[in-house]
Amino acid sequence: MTRGTCPIWGKSSKAPGSCRRPPDAIDKLTLLSVCVLAFLLLSACPVVGGQTASQPIPETDITGLRAELDQGMKATSSVEARRACKSVIRTAEALLKTSPNAPNRFDIMAVQFQGLKRLLSLEATAENRAAIFETCEKLRQAPDAYAEIRFEADMLLSEKTLAEAEATVAERIMALRDMLATYRGTPAEWKSLMIGSLIAVKLLDFDLEEEIRKTMTERFAGDHKVIEFRRKQSNVSSIEAVFSGTYQTVDGASVVFPYDRMGHQYLVMFWSKDADGFEAFLENVKTQQERFPGRFEIFSFNVDELPDAGAGILRDLGLAAVPVILPAGRQNSACQAYAGADCAAMLVNGQGQTLIQRDDPIPWPGPTPARGTTPASDGPGIGLYLDDERYLAQLRYLFIGDFLVADTGQTVQPPDEKLAGIQACFTPPPRRYRLAREESLANYREAETLSSAAIDAQAGAPDLWLARNRRIVALLGLWNLSGEGKHLEAAVTEAKTVLASKPPPGADVAARFCLATAALREGDVDPEKLLARFLEDSGGGSAPPTALAAVAILALEAGARTPYESYRGRLLDLDGAGSPALWPVAAFLRDKHHQYRNFHATPGGLGYGRPQKYAFRHMVSGLAEPEYGKRRLLTAEFVKLDGGTLRIPDDTKGHMLGILFVEPPEEKTLRDALLNQVNGFVQQYTDQGVTEVVVFLADTMDTVKSIVGNDTVDGQPVWLPDGLDNPLARRLGILSADQVPNAFLLRPDGTIAWSVSGLTYKAFSSHPGYAIGAAIGNNIEKVRSDAAFETLEKGDFSLAIKEFEAYQPSHSRDYWAADRMQGLALAHMGLGDWQAALTQIDAAIQQREMDFNSSMCKCHGIVEMLLTKATILEKMDRQREAGIARNRAEKETIPHAKLPPGLARQGVPLGVYYDWLKQIRLGLEKNIEGK
């Protein structure tokens, strides 16, 4: 097919119909038609095995037809290819005429359709065009088993309709969106997204292209054909994906990625003995393994199809790796999707995510040679990107389902002694996250042994599900830590036994969690449908909080970001999330570090990609995503050094309070470094007039007194009895307070306004303490600023004006001045003072443009300000000016890609009040209309 020639419209370069657009517009849309049709006509059409029922077309006829077409496709002569296609088409027509209602007739149509596509690309005649459209109409009736074929038919018919109607770009975009929605959840969704992405780019609708990319990333993160497509189409140096697939090791074991290694980090390497420098490549990997022993596993994929999968070469080199068989070698879909070269390595993190580098086979910095007086250095190596073991242990705790058998302090049967012994094997957080893998494995093994004995001894007991549930979780733990599939099989059997016994409501969640985990591992299931069914089977609208917690973790495991956010929100909005059993889950769901990392690969190269890099301080500050769900009132009692009690919120009500939780290490150097951080954070509180408390997590008060007596500790020191074992530490999600102080800020009413755990980040140049220090001050400013907005929201406009005007920021720069000016405008609107409102909204727009150093600002905040201004002008009967403001608002709908550098460094995302102000404006406009 020549450039500019469309097989649907023949040799003419223009679509039929009258000209409604300028010639250049017609040419662009015609070229788009050529592009879309060429892609569809030349793409491979899948051959689908059909249904079986009475009087189907003989399978031998279908097989023969496929073979004939395949032979014709391979023909080097166009004459031979045309002859073969016509023969296949005639035979297919005869079979369909003889058996028009055969249940497997769509298999014949699929072959016929593929032949027609090929023939039309070779011979664009009116007869062939009519034939392919006739077949397309019939394929529209095909069931979802033939969705991929049906999608191509739908696209060809849609393109024909759009071209005949001389559709505008906007109409084409709407048609494309409708088509994508139609095929969501079908076997053709992946193909619809890939083709849709190409068309969106041709239509210059980059917002739609970004939506499609995000959908691909979420719903097909581990699909090899989609990953390969993204790699080829992406213009960036790396893409994020899930490492997936079912493989056999040379020892005969089966391994299913990512599910068999969730909560573990490992290196995957593809290599060939025929590649130049493969020895140096393997030596580099071995060096990293020796530098960081036990920190990561290695799975080796040799692309040469060696009988032993390269095990002998690895053994001779002394590289401890698991050799995995790669059928078809370089042609294997995994090699095509992930490798891109004969030698390539990638780090897979605890959620199965990996960063695929386009041109970098080694995803970690190499050694630095000596230069002048600078000595040579081995560099950080892969250690720069390896997650802390506590971080991984927390993920494993959740993926295994330990929280489903957590000890809530209740007395249960059968018998207390035996169950207590089993329960003792499940160490509660946060100490659970500090157990070595060997300790955790031993605990799960002991729990499985004890629970099996209890089940055998108490067969038929009504509360036997208590022991069975603990055995299920123990088996899941053994599977996760050992990688042996037999443990998962045993857990599934036990789970089915529990469900068959019809346990009381809520007692079935652990069993259903196990079966859902196994179903995700087996594949061929839509995660969103599986999650919805899980919740429905667990009680639907009456499902217990444990079911919501379980489904949120399953969504995380499945990489289903949208359902995860939904279930996460529902759980945190429930009072049931306050159950002691769910404290570790709720803490995880609230933790800003995890929410920042979830669904992302561990960064490589120079660190996080552009969307994440500048957001690090924003994440720590929590301004972009404040405390989620209902306001949480912190109630706690601490012991003062004089033996008195500090009760929160009773003793601090009416004042903001800063709290730092710290677990002082025994080693003096580490303790001094930690206390220096504490003093730095305390200074941030005191500089802005906020009272601060330093809570020591220590075994005894004597330890606290010894530290305070020998070291300079700013702030009011108090003791939390039992330290990490105190329930408060679990309830608040205190993590790694021996490395980074866990900071909290309480509002005057005692509710938590901001908090950050002690988790740290890889590939970030500065210590997280710097970001936390800045975040303390920013959040204090925001809490004070929030007070006026809350008054405005309540409708006390006169008081709101006084509070806005009385506000004096502590920082030299007033971060939210424009937002408060907008709030003043809304307050004056509420009082009906339109001139004052106009003055304030104009000042707000001017201030925001100054913030971004641009009069061409195109952000959602400016849109809100312009819409507010339009409403004010309309009330002042200045309709023409109001129309100008609304027209500008309609054009400026693109959010800022990033903040000005100064604000980005401070972690102050302008925009934290946008949604709040919008809701207030809409409420005011509704009231004004009502009057």
Task: Judge residue 902's burial from the number of C-beta atoms within 10 Å of its C-beta, 0-12 exposed, 13-18 middle, 19 or more buried.
Answer: exposed
Count of CA atoms in the C-beta half-sphere (13 A) of 894: 12
Q: What is the DSSP letter of 499?
A: H
CA-nearest of 515, 433, 537 to 469 is: 515
d(CA 659, CA 648): 11
Whether residue 636 has pLDDT greater than 50: yes
- Interval 547-561 mean pLDDT: 96
d(CA 305, CA 310): 8
Of 648-657, 698-707, 766-775, minimum mean pLDDT range: 766-775
Going 535 to 541 to 543 to 549, the CA torsion angle's sign is positive
606: its two tokens: 């120079």
pLDDT of residue 605: 45
pLDDT of residue 811: 66
CB 659 within 8 A of CB 746: yes
Summarised one tens digit per residue, pLDDT across range 176-203 is 999 999 999 899 999 999 999 999 988 8
d(CA 843, CA 866): 12
> Model confidence at 905, in pLDDT bands (50, 70, 90)?
low
Polymer length in residues for the chain = 931
- Angle between helix 561-573 and 545-558 (nearest 10): 160
Summarised one tens digit per residue, pLDDT across range 295-324 is 999 999 999 999 999 999 999 999 999 999
CB 130 within 8 A of CB 169: no
pLDDT of residue 1: 42
Higher confidence at residue 628 or residue 36?
628
pLDDT of residue 41: 55
Helix (H) or strand (E) holding 638: strand 636-640
**Please, which residues bridge with residue 24 across strands?**
none
pLDDT of residue 7: 52
Summarised one tens digit per residue, pLDDT across range 657-678 is 999 999 999 898 999 899 999 9
435: its two tokens: 């157990």
Q: Which residues of 811-840 are buried (b: 16+ CB within 10 A; e: fewer)?
A: eeebbbbbbbbbbbbbbbbbeebbebbbbb
Categorise residue 123: left if φ over 0, alpha if ψ from -120 to 50, beta otherwise: beta
The DSSP result for 680-719, as a single string, is HHHHHHHHTT-EEEEEE--S-HHHHHHHHHHS---SEEEE
pLDDT of residue 931: 61
CB 690 within 8 A of CB 656: yes
> Model confidence at 789, in pLDDT bands (50, 70, 90)?
very high
d(CA 529, CA 467): 30
8: its two tokens: 């649907």
pLDDT of residue 22: 40
Residue type present at position 199: I
pLDDT of residue 910: 67
CA-nearest of 396, 350, 364, 357 to 257 is: 350
pLDDT of residue 904: 54
Whether residue 412 has pLDDT greater than 90: no
d(CA 568, CA 579): 15
pLDDT of residue 541: 87
pLDDT of residue 657: 96
Whether residue 30 has pLDDT greater than 50: no
Higher confidence at residue 366 or residue 202?
202
- In this structure, the strands spanning 716-719 and 691-696 are parallel
The DSSP result for 520-585, as a single string, is HHH--S-HHHHHHHHHHHTTGGG--HHHHHHHHHHHHHHT-HHHHHHHHHHHHHSGGGGSGGGHHH
> Model confidence at 26, in pLDDT bands (50, 70, 90)?
very low
Per the omega criterion (within 30 degrees of 0), is the bond before 611 cis? no
Whether residue 51 has pLDDT greater than 70: no
Backbone angles phi, psi at 479, to 5 degrees: -65, -45
Instruction: State what percent of residues in the chain have pLDDT above 90.
Output: 56
- Interval 535-542 mean pLDDT: 93
pLDDT of residue 895: 52
Q: What is the DSSP letter of 658?
A: E
pLDDT of residue 152: 92
Whether residue 761 has pLDDT greater than 70: no
Whether residue 508 has pLDDT greater than 90: yes
- Interval 83-104 mean pLDDT: 89
- Interval 203-208 mean pLDDT: 87
Global pTM value: 0.86
Of 48-57, 786-795, 862-871, minimum mean pLDDT range: 48-57
Summarised one tens digit per residue, pLDDT across range 398-408 is 999 999 998 76
Maximum alpha-carbon separation in the chain: 99
- Interval 807-832 mean pLDDT: 87
CA-nearest of 514, 507, 480, 283 to 393 is: 480
CB 822 within 8 A of CB 841: yes
pLDDT of residue 179: 95
Whether residue 80 has pLDDT greater than 80: yes
CB 599 within 8 A of CB 222: no
d(CA 589, CA 595): 7
d(CA 33, CA 624): 42
3-class DSSP state of 432? helix
Going 814 to 819 to 822 to 827, the CA torsion angle's sign is negative
Task: Judge residue 72's burial from the number of C-beta atoms within 10 Å of its C-beta, 0-12 exposed, 13-18 middle, 19 or more buried.
Answer: buried
* E-strand stretches of 307-447: 322-324, 344-348, 353-357
CB 450 within 8 A of CB 425: yes
The DSSP result for 860-929, as a single string, is HHHHHHHHHHHHHHHHTT-HHHHHHHHHHHHH--PPPSS--HHHHHHT--TTTTHHHHHHHHHHHHHHHH
239: its two tokens: 């893409």
CB 121 within 8 A of CB 1: yes
Summarised one tens digit per residue, pLDDT across range 271-290 is 999 999 999 999 999 999 99
Higher confidence at residue 829 or residue 905?
829
Q: Which residues contact 184 (CB under 8 A, 6 or more apart)?
A: 192
pLDDT of residue 575: 63
pLDDT of residue 252: 92
d(CA 191, CA 202): 17
Average pLDDT, the chain: 86
Backbone angles phi, psi at 354, to 5 degrees: -140, 155
Backbone angles phi, psi at 278, to 5 degrees: -65, -30
Q: Which residues of 187-220 are buried (b: 16+ CB within 10 A; e: fewer)?
A: bbbbbbbbbbbbbbebbebeebbebbbebbbbbb
